[in-house]
Structure 1
Amino acid sequence: MMLGKADAPARRAFGWFMLLALVVLAAGIGLRDPWPPDEPRFALMARQMLESGQWLFPHRGQELYSDKPPLLMWCEAALFGLSGGWRAAFLLPSLLAGLGTLGVTYWVGRRLWDARTGLAAAGLLLASFQFVEVVKHAQIDPLLLFFVTLGNAGLLLHCLRGPDWRACWLGCFAAGLGVVAKGVGVLALLMLLPYAWARWRGWAVSGVRDVPAAGSGGQEPAVHGGVASGMDDGEPVVRDRMLRRGQPPAGGDGWRWAAGALAFLLPILAWLLPMLATALGSGSPERLAYVQDLLFRQTAQRYADSWQHVEPPWYFLGVMLADWLPVSLLIPLLLPRWRRALREREARVLLPLAWWLLVLLFFSLTPGKREIYLLPALPMAALAMAPYAEELLRRRWLQRAAFGLAVLAGALALAAGAWALLGQPHAARRIAAGYELADGGRALWWCVIAAGTPFLLAAALCRPRRGVAALLAGIAAAWVVWPLATYPLLDANQSARALMARADARIGPDGQLGLVLWREELLLQARRPVAEFGFSRPWEDQLRDALAWQAQRPGRWILLDSDAMGDCVDKARAWKAGVANRNEWWMFDAAAVRPACRPPGGAAAP
């Protein structure tokens, strides 16, 4: 239901909120190139798709890349065509996904509760550190987050406000797009498990209809267990509970659920069938290996027997505490309220809360864990918190605690920046050297001070009685100040742009460059076509082939990570190209190759 004229204040509040979100999430776009570890990889593959016209099989250099499905690369390539430059295009999918996730979170909160609750849910999401940090980078996870949240929203509205089969089909379709994004988009369908349990237990779920209470006028809604009763766009309502314990599902809906399954499979098959047909039709061993790795090794095998990022089962408890700050600090305060709501059979709390716990359990059971895995649970966690946010904010001690956090954050940033500026400790010098910053990195430490200052200014303006506003204002300002200050300062090093400019100048106008043990940002920032000898191959094999390539004609140089120098290169005759992303890079021509490593028939350049 669209907001009507009577809801203009809510519409304006949401508009101002989205404008704030745009400023926070978009700050810095256009000021930097892709940064490691993930951004250059996806931008490089998107560029190669545009150049080659090969959209079904992403390539990283000459190798097929089978770690992830290609949806993000498609989005970056499409947005490059619209924006005309990679500096904007590679970050736009994350920005749009982040804004979309906030909008969907507000939408489902408003439909299930009211506009204020929807705004509170979106606000809690925007206040979480992990959400903003991930959305401000060009990764697959913001797209996955959006599709999973949209999938959850559609299923929630169908299960709790329905039957609403269009919302259900939209949710299933979004879950399918989530699979094309990263494989685990299917997790959105887990929302049906707590729904089925609640229905079995006789809770008021599917088929519930909210109607305005007779004679309610403009009265405040009744509150049960600290949660406002069912509302529609801010109007008080009462429930007509149409289900009773043991009541069977309504007949005639089988084809509608089948349509939901088809909506889920549609985007998956639209990608999978052409890819499989092309791979099988070509008979290419590389493409067949790509299919095998993508569909089996990177999914089931990676989950059941992960070969990297092995962590203990309780790993994500620490992730939620640290990465969801400051919102995670509310979780202990909400436990008794959630318990009371569940005793009162509040399905609007049960479903997002249970889905959050199911996702936590799913990722805790696999040995391989990364902080980013739990991000899709954050919007549902915010939705479960939102009905109680206003009540908590009335607590004076909470306002004072938030005020203390704002002062502490600002003081720590100012102290760290001043310490690095005045004391020049070893850690500060090492960080500055890693970024190739002049003058001991003084500009960077001033950026740290600049990011901390808004916390203290907000605290001075808001005072302890509005401590939450001070903390949130400081966080928002820091998210804007930090990228605007640091992106221009660090980009030449982080993107390897400066390194590749020096390498291009070193080889001269007629020289050629080959890469060994390279990283994606080097190939992305190359000023001219370069030779590379595989990405995932052992560096010894890359170096052997590179030396054979170099020996074929004069004027060929090799750029490699210092770890690949080995015994074949005389370091005294090589040239240090510089440091990028705290890795040391060297260049050499044929004269620096030791005689024992020269290919048969090859000769050192004079």
Structure 2
Amino acid sequence: MKPWNSSRALGFGVALYFVLLYLLPLNGRLLWQPDETRYAEISREMLQRGDWVVPHLLGLRYFEKPVAGYWFNNISQWLFGDTNFAVRFGAAFSSGITALLVFALAMMMWRQRRTAWLAALIFLSMTLVFGIGTYNVLDPMIALWLTAAMASFYLAWRSERPGKKLAAYVLLGLACAMGVMTKGFLALAVPVIAVLPIAIRQRRFRELLIYGPAAVIAAVLLCLPWALVIARREPDFWHYFFWVEHIKRFAEANAQHRAPFWYYLPVIMAGSLPWLALLPGSLRKGWIERRARPELFFLLSWVVMPLLFFSIAKGKLPTYILSCMAPLALLMAAYAVDCAAAFRHGVFRLNAAINIVFGALCIAVVVVMGFGLLSPHSLYNRQEWPKIIIGVIAFAGWVLFAALSGRRGGQRFAWAAACPLLLALLVGYVIPQNTVNNKQPQHFIRANADLLNHDGYLLSNNVGVATTLAWELKRSDIEIYRDKGELSYGLAYPDAQGHFVSEADFPDWLSQARRHGNVALLLRLDDDQSYIRNLPDADAVRRQNWLALYFYRQRP
């Protein structure tokens, strides 16, 4: 494949690439708990209840996120059924639309289709983007709305006619509103932080004062109907969502997922693969040419300012900086095109070398860890040697395409995008069984369907396992045993008291429950398993790694 074929061929290639990397693998692996099963079950229950306003999990109020992200999953499950493909399609679809926005932004900036398609290809092939974009979380959706907001601001920035500028600000407000209804008020903070240096440099404060209210009004009008309805139905929603999910999570000393300030530096480096060699030069180019090419400063501010914001926050996760990858892909595309035009192919040869080394190291890790060559504890058991072979093939593909991208002195650099293809297609067949048992309870639940598929009582001590159980059996009446976890808030409501069974109350509760039906207790075991000895004798016990099933038959 030559990097500079016709734009139509490039567009077809990017579309085919999206299908191969994002759509085909979706149904090829089980759901991971707790994230994927949580969001799958919330949407399933929304469809089952016919309630698209108040999110519920296991029949309990669940106020950690607003509602628009669930709408994506609702529509996906409505179209494709209760499948793993449907669960992940909303994230993949959001990533695909974001790639189209990257293409549109590149066209607005440079009027070159080949550069625009290259930017979309770089974006889709970044490990952080496709890793999260094929995983059922809400971050690809919030990244979509933040990209749409920044694209709208750029359109307003470039528009000369007042009417067109006003329309762009209205689009900005609508995109921010959808972001707020997807994941909260960060959808307002991130665009403001990103555009602040741009407004200062371009002296656009007067424009912001004139047209900014239109964006605010549009955002309020779009959010207001749902905000009022949920406030009327659940008066405590906004208090909990603002103070607990925003202030505590990001600012307090005991925030969730605490990490040091530099946390995102290795994340963004690893997330930029297979384009890591382009990262320093593209950022440097955005700064050096900020005066001659204002669009590069726009992109640089869009990358750096949110990155600093999330680095300062106490709570950190890799998914938080997904919104930085679209502008980074645009910067990389601009840098790559300029390097190719000036015959500076050294960066492409370096990129190929980095990918070859990375793929080779991953092959070595799979072989060494898989066969336990340096440790008595291997990733795989003896019967899983085919998975090691598949893992080697997946990363051998990374090495092969990396080598191809370095041919002819780096002129075929676009082939680097193909590095993750085999890995994405084969990863579902490489996961060790120990990991499957630990993080993908669907396997254990399906293997023990004879004891779980009944009309009696089901309990679990782990919310992630409980949501997997609910998703697999298509029932939300899973009781929580011993550990409330993230359901503590929902369980505190008076009408939810019967959904929790403490360790001390379990024997008495069990004797009463067995009069009305079978009881199955599915446990995720931890290091301290002393509580297992206090359980009443079960009629059947099945255990696999960190999962254990205790089955009690009905005794009228």
Q: TM-score range by the shorter chain?
A: 0.7 to 0.9
CA contact (8 A) 1:458 1:473 kept: yes
Q: Say yes or no: does 1:19 pair with 2:16.
A: yes
Alignment of 1:234-273 (within 5 A): 249=206, 256-273=211-228
* Per-residue deviation, residues 177-213 of structure 1 (Å, max 9, x unmatched): 111111121122444423321232xxxxx7xxxxxxx
Residue matched to 1:95:
92
Q: Which amino acid is 1:131 matched to?
A: V
The 2-side partners of 1:78 and 1:317 are apart by 36
* Per-residue deviation, residues 374-425 of structure 1 (Å, max 9, x unmatched): 1111112222333221233433322332332333234334333444565566
Residue matched to 1:331:
279
Q: Cα offset for 1:551?
A: 0.9
Gaps of 5+ in 2: 489-498
The 1-side partners of 2:92 and 2:355 are apart by 26
Alignment of 1:62-73 (within 5 A): 62-73=59-70
CA contact (8 A) 1:516 1:543 kept: no
Q: Say yes or no: does 1:367 pair with 2:348.
A: no
CA contact (8 A) 1:31 1:488 kept: no
Residue matched to 1:296:
243
Give the match's secondary structure for 2:242. helix
Q: Say yes or no: does 1:404 pair with 2:349.
A: no
Q: Which amino acid is 1:351 matched to?
A: F
Q: Say yes or no: does 1:542 pair with 2:512.
A: no
The 2-side partners of 1:339 and 1:114 are apart by 22
Q: Cα offset for 1:67?
A: 1.3
Give the match's secondary structure for 1:29. helix
**Of 128, 131, 137, which aligns to 2:129?**
131
Q: Cα offset for 1:134?
A: 0.5
Residue matched to 1:395:
344
Q: 168-177 vs 516-525, which deviates more?
A: 516-525
The 2-side partners of 1:515 and 1:144 are apart by 31
Q: 386-395 vs 371-380, which deviates more?
A: 386-395
Residue matched to 1:442:
385
The 2-side partners of 1:515 and 1:340 are apart by 57
The 1-side partners of 2:43 and 2:536 are apart by 39
Distance 1:441 1:588, change over 3 A: same
CA contact (8 A) 2:479 2:500 kept: no
CA contact (8 A) 1:455 1:470 kept: no
CA contact (8 A) 1:100 1:146 kept: yes
Residue matched to 1:4:
none
Q: Cα offset for 1:361?
A: 2.1
Q: Which amino acid is 2:542 matched to?
A: A
The 2-side partners of 1:15 and 1:354 are apart by 31
The 2-side partners of 1:82 and 1:605 are apart by 42
CA contact (8 A) 1:550 1:557 kept: no
Give the match's secondary structure for 1:310. coil
Q: Say yes or no: does 1:414 pair with 2:379.
A: no
Q: Say yes or no: does 1:358 pair with 2:322.
A: no
CA contact (8 A) 1:420 1:445 kept: no
Q: Say yes or no: does 1:48 pair with 2:8.
A: no
Alignment of 1:206-217 (within 5 A): none
Residue matched to 1:176:
177
Residue matched to 2:139:
141
Q: Cα offset for 1:101?
A: 0.6
Residue matched to 1:85:
82
CA contact (8 A) 1:413 1:451 kept: no
Residue matched to 1:275:
230
Residue matched to 1:312:
260
Q: Which amino acid is 2:470 matched to?
A: L
Q: How many residues align?
A: 521
Q: For the aligned residues, what is the CA RMSD?
A: 3.4
* Per-residue deviation, residues 290-317 of structure 1 (Å, max 9, x unmatched): 4321122211332221522112222222
The 2-side partners of 1:171 and 1:411 are apart by 44
Residue matched to 1:569:
533
* Per-residue deviation, residues 506-534 of structure 1 (Å, max 9, x unmatched): 46867643323342213322377754037
Give the match's secondary structure for 2:459. strand
Q: Cα offset for 1:11?
A: 4.1
Q: Percent identity, aligned pairs only?
A: 22
CA contact (8 A) 1:103 1:122 kept: yes
**Of 508, 515, 523, which aligns to 2:460?**
515
The 2-side partners of 1:468 and 1:32 are apart by 31
Q: Cα offset for 1:605?
A: 7.2
Q: Which amino acid is 1:458 matched to?
A: F
Q: Cα offset for 1:104?
A: 0.2
Distance 1:441 1:420, change over 3 A: farther
* Per-residue deviation, residues 468-487 of structure 1 (Å, max 9, x unmatched): 34533223333233347669
The 1-side partners of 2:438 and 2:531 are apart by 28
Q: Which amino acid is 1:109 matched to?
A: A
Q: Which amino acid is 2:286 matched to?
A: W
Give the match's secondary structure for 1:532. strand
Alignment of 1:517-532 (within 5 A): 517-519=462-464, 520-526=467-473, 531-532=478-479
Q: Cα offset for 1:17?
A: 1.5
Higher relative contact order (CA 8 A, sep 6+): 2
Q: Say yes or no: does 1:578 pair with 2:527.
A: no
CA contact (8 A) 2:397 2:419 kept: yes
The 2-side partners of 1:424 and 1:345 are apart by 55
Q: Say yes or no: does 1:104 pair with 2:111.
A: no
Give the match's secondary structure for 1:69. coil
Q: Which amino acid is 1:543 matched to?
A: E
The 1-side partners of 2:284 and 2:374 are apart by 47
Distance 1:540 1:26, change over 3 A: closer
Q: Which has the larger radius of gyration?
A: 1
Q: Cα offset for 1:121?
A: 2.3
Gaps of 5+ in 1: 1-7, 201-205, 207-247, 281-287, 433-437, 591-603
Distance 1:300 1:167, change over 3 A: same
CA contact (8 A) 1:406 1:459 kept: yes
**Of 432, 435, 458, which aligns to 2:401?**
458
Q: Which amino acid is 1:21 matched to?
A: F
Q: Which amino acid is 1:569 matched to?
A: R
Q: Cα offset for 1:448?
A: 0.8
CA contact (8 A) 1:40 1:524 kept: yes
Distance 1:463 1:272, change over 3 A: closer
Distance 1:45 1:547, change over 3 A: farther
Q: Cα offset for 1:145?
A: 0.7
Q: Cα offset for 1:444?
A: 2.0
Distance 1:567 1:149, change over 3 A: closer
CA contact (8 A) 2:27 2:85 kept: yes
CA contact (8 A) 2:451 2:551 kept: no
Residue matched to 1:195:
198
Q: Which amino acid is 1:468 matched to?
A: F
Distance 1:508 1:361, change over 3 A: closer
The 2-side partners of 1:503 and 1:295 are apart by 41
Q: Cα offset for 1:44?
A: 0.7
* Per-residue deviation, residues 48-82 of structure 1 (Å, max 9, x unmatched): 11122232221221321111112222221222111
Give the match's secondary structure for 1:569. helix
The 1-side partners of 2:471 and 2:157 are apart by 47
Q: TM-score, normalised to structure 2's length? A: 0.83
